Structures are given as structure tokens and as C-alpha cells.
Chains A and B, each alone.
Chain A
Amino acid sequence: TGVTEIRSGFNAIKANIQARDPIRTLSILSHPHSLHKVKSSDKCCIIHKLFNFYMDKVFKHCQTEDSYVNRKISSIANSFLSIKRKLEQCHKQNKCLCGQESTEKFKQILVNYEGLNITSAAIKSLGELDILLDWMEKSH
């Protein structure tokens, strides 16, 4: 499935990407409010918003000097794109509505992201892909 491909692509570059992120005191996805505290009714909306976030604000800012890592990043982005299209259909059929809590949650993520310069924020977000995948798979 798309998620399994993302997971294996990420595992191949996880140590490399996380080593480029020296900031331990800030997380994009897990602090101050963890994704794991999100209600299941808000889950679809946040996944939809996060997939857009990764497409618009993360992958395109993650160019490295390592062609192998760059290839892995673009294959992850392609897998994201195919899942994003499926989510779009849910969104159009109103099965993915965004309540106030999920909007607040996503706003916090953007605040975390904007707290860093774009490249650092993009690399940190990419390094946190396992946090997103762990949360998505926890109770799908």
C-alpha cells in the first residue's frame, strides 16, 4: 500500500535526515500537543491537511547534496500524492469534515513550522514522518 511504500522509503533515509536536524527542543508534529491526542472523528481532516502540508511546505524544500536521499524523498512525495488524491475524494464527499479542534490542532503545527527557517522546518518535518505514520496506523 502507499503507506508501506512511504514507510520503507523513509526508513532508508531516516538516520540521514534526522541527523540534519539538531534541534531537540522543538517538534513540528508531537509537541506541545501530540497527534496522539486527536479524536478519531478529527483524524480524516487532519490527515488531509497534513498531506497537503507535506506536499506544499515540506518535500519541495528538502533538497540535499545526496542524490540517493533526493531520489528517496521524491518517491515518498509521489506516494503521498497518490494517497492525497484518494483523500481528496473523501473530502469532496463530505466524509472528511474539519471541526474546530482539528483546525486548532493544525494551526499549532503551522506555528511550530513557522518557528524555524523554511529549510530547517522542512527537514524537521520530513524527519518526523514516522510520527505521522505511527499515528495514522495506530487505529486506522
Chain B
Amino acid sequence: SGELYCSLPNPRNVHFESINMKNVLHWSAPEGTGDGVLYKVKYSVYGIGKWIRKPECRKINRTWCDLSSETADYEEQYYASVKAFLNGMCSDWMETTRFNPLTDTKIDPPTVNVSSTEKSISIILTAPEKWKRSPGGESVSLLQVYPGLQYNVSVLNKKTKKRWFFSISNNTLVVPWLEPGTSYCVSAQIHVTTPLLRSGFSKEYCIATLKDKTA
């Protein structure tokens, strides 16, 4: 059907929110429109430019649309656009800025596994996986996407409140010369130097070193 009379206010703040390359388009409803607004979404690959409709996000009343599948190739860059409809009227198409999945995604903290002996703790870190189309799909660690990925690790002695920081490239760390029978808390963060990306710190994982048998 032909385009309707387009005098509806436009959707606002159309942008991608991306975590571990799960790329979801978000927007705010047009000002002053209340309930009943429906939307449709399209996207394009930069350099090709042909707009492609997203059928699953046609005539939707929510203000987000998951475009992870359509933007999974992180060697490409993308635009997306949203149009609103209400009572036979429509808005203009409102576009995102150019979206680069590689540099514009946010990264979750690593998972942290800790074990201890009498005088040391061992820490194993695992980078999050890139978003994948289905649970059974191939797992790609963000380590493969960002070869320069590093970990910042914080170790806190709960008794003395003394804290150490380590920056490591591989995913294991052994902290030696600790006090037996003492609780230590570990937290870790991912740091990619270029493009510059940094996750938050993980929650703290606490573990006690074994008691000194000879004491």
C-alpha cells in the first residue's frame, strides 16, 4: 500500500545497544503519542546501502528489535531505521548513526574460578562468548574476536584489606606467598587495548587458603 500521510512525530533516540555483540535496536516512542503506536524496522549494510525490512519487527508496539542475526558479521558496519504508525498517520524514517559491532559493543566481565592451597590461590578466567544465533550454534570466544584482549585482576586480603592488581594476557594466574587460613577475594575485568574496550569488574569470588598443618 502507498505511504500514508506522514505527519506523526518521529521515534526518538534510535540507537543500537550491544553487549557481547548481541545487537538490539532501541528507540523511544514519538513525543506525546501515548498507546497504540506501531513500528516497523529496516536495516542496511554500509557500502551496499540497500534497505532490508525486518519482518519480525513489523507492526510491533514494543520499542526494541533484535538485529543480532542481521548484524552478526562484525567486519561490516550497519545502519538501522524505524518508522512509527498511529491512526492512519506515520512518521519519517529515523536512522541510527553508523554502527560498528566491533568497536560499539560492550563486553561482560569474565567468569572467575578460584582454588587455593595453603599459601597460594589459583585463578582461571574465561572471556564471555560472542552472541550466537542458537544455543547449539558454534561458540566463539571474544578472545578470538579481540586478539589483544587482556585481564585486569584484583586480589583482596580480607583480613588486612591489602589489595593487589595484576594485568595478564593469558587466562590463568597463581598468586603465591599468601597467609594460610586467610580469606582472599578476587575480581576481574576485561581490557582490550585497541579498539579500546573495557568490561566492568566481575563480582567478587572469595576463598580461604588452607590452614597451616604444622601450626
Contacts and interface: CB of A to CB of B under 8 A. Distances in A.
B49 A25 contact: yes
A26 interface: yes
Interface of B: 44, 46-50, 75-77, 79, 97-98, 100, 102-103, 147-148, 193-196
Contacts of B46: 24, 27, 30
Contact of B48 (A18, A31, A137): A31
A79 to B, nearest CB: 13
Nearest to B193: A4
Secondary structure at chain A's binding surface: helix, strand, loop or mixed?
helix
Contacts of B76: 30
A134 B147 contact: no
A3 interface: yes
Interface string A87-116: 000000000000000000000000000000
B194 A133 contact: yes
B75 A127 contact: no
9 contacts: A3-B194, A11-B196, A25-B48, A26-B49, A130-B77, A130-B195, A133-B195, A134-B75, A134-B103
Dominant secondary structure of chain B at its interface with chain A: loop
Contacts of A11: 103, 196
Interface size class of A (residues with CB under 8 A): 20 to 34
A7 B79 contact: no
A50 B76 CA distance: 19
Contacts of A18: 97-98
Interface string A69-94: 00000000000000000000000000
A137 B194 contact: yes
A2 to B, nearest CB: 11
A81 B34 CA distance: 54
For the complex of A and B, list the 4 residue pairs with the smallest distance between their C-beta atoms, beginning with the closest: A27-B47, A25-B49, A31-B47, A24-B49
A18 B104 CA distance: 14
A36 B76 CA distance: 10
Given A1-B194, A31-B47, A130-B102, 4 more contacts: A4-B194, A18-B98, A130-B77, A134-B100
A134 B102 contact: yes
A121 B121 CA distance: 56
